[in-house]
């Protein structure tokens, strides 16, 4: 499938009060969409619409943590047979809180399917067997949230390539990895001086 150059993208911007299917519309090579929602659909809804359009795909999801009310939608996604391979990039602080869902994700997609990092990004990628390369990102969490949210979707391009390059460079750390290993995997030392990082030396964890 031939991918359009960024300058030739079919760009669209929408303010939407409807569902993900109507808001996003058809998935096309080279497309670019920016949307403002009222939180009526979530990142999971957007992923499912893209799967409807793209067919069998490899999926990656970047998230900070999985809230209690999001576990059911994660199960729905995990059991979707259109997902050929799954990767979960999650903040290391969610290890204890999300222990069960992480174990279930690994049982479905394999022991190498989780990456622990310092993360607050909300990103998903879909690489379809038909040749589509979709990058989804936005302020929304995995479930819907009735407030202003923004969403971007592009097919192909340098942005998709960048995210996949970073993903593929992340090591698969054990569940009991230490903070130093997470810092090294996240490469935060490349963006901060050591004295600045001392302010965050007590790594944040989620209470059980």
Q: Could you tell me what percentage of the chain is helix, strand and coil, using 3-state DSSP and rounding each to the nearest 5?
A: 35, 25, 40
Secondary structure in 3-state letters for 43-98: HHHHHHHHHHHHCCEEEEEEECCCCHHHHHHHHHHHCCCCEEEEEEEEEHHHCCCC
Give the tens place of pLDDT for each residue, 96-123.
Answer: 999 999 999 999 999 999 999 999 999 9
DSSP for residue 42: -
Domain boundaries, the chain: 8-200
* Percent of the chain whose pLDDT exceeds 70: 88
- For residues 179 and 204, what is the distance between their CA atoms, to the nearest angstrom? 10
- For residues 92 and 127, what is the distance between their CA atoms, to the nearest angstrom? 25
| Fold of the 8-200 domain | Endonuclease; Chain A (3.30.870)
Give the tens place of pLDDT for each residue, 4-30.
Answer: 454 455 699 999 999 999 999 999 999
3-state SS assignment for residue 40: coil
pTM of the full predicted structure? Answer: 0.88
- For residues 116 and 110, what is the distance between their CA atoms, to the nearest angstrom? 15
- Residue 203 reports pLDDT greater than 80: no
Q: What are phi and psi of 39, to 5 degrees?
A: 80, 15
Residue 1, pLDDT score: 43
Give the tens place of pLDDT for each residue, 49-80.
Answer: 999 999 999 999 999 999 888 888 899 899 99
């Amino acid at each position: 499938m031939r991918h359009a150059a960024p300058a030739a993208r079919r760009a669209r911007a929408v303010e939407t009060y409807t569902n993900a299917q109507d808001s996003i519309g058809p998935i096309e090579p080279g497309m670019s969409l920016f949307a403002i929602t009222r939180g009526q659909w979530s990142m999971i809804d957007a992923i499912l619409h893209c799967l409807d359009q793209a067919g069998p795909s490899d999926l990656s999801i970047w998230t900070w943590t999985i809230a209690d009310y999001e576990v059911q939608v994660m199960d729905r996604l995990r059991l979707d047979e259109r997902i050929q391979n799954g990767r979960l990039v999650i903040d290391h602080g969610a290890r204890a809180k999300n222990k069960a869902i992480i174990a279930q994700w690994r049982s479905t997609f394999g022991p190498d399917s989780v990456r622990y990092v310092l993360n607050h990004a909300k990103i998903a990628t879909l690489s379809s067997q038909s040749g589509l390369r979709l990058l989804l990102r936005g302020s929304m969490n995995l479930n819907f949230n009735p407030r202003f949210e923004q969403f971007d979707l592009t097919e192909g391009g340098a942005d998709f390539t960048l995210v996949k390059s970073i993903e593929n460079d992340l090591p698969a750390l054990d569940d009991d990895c230490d903070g130093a290993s997470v810092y090294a995997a996240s490469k935060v030392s490349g963006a901060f001086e050591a004295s600045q990082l001392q302010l965050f030396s007590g790594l944040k964890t989620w209470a059980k």
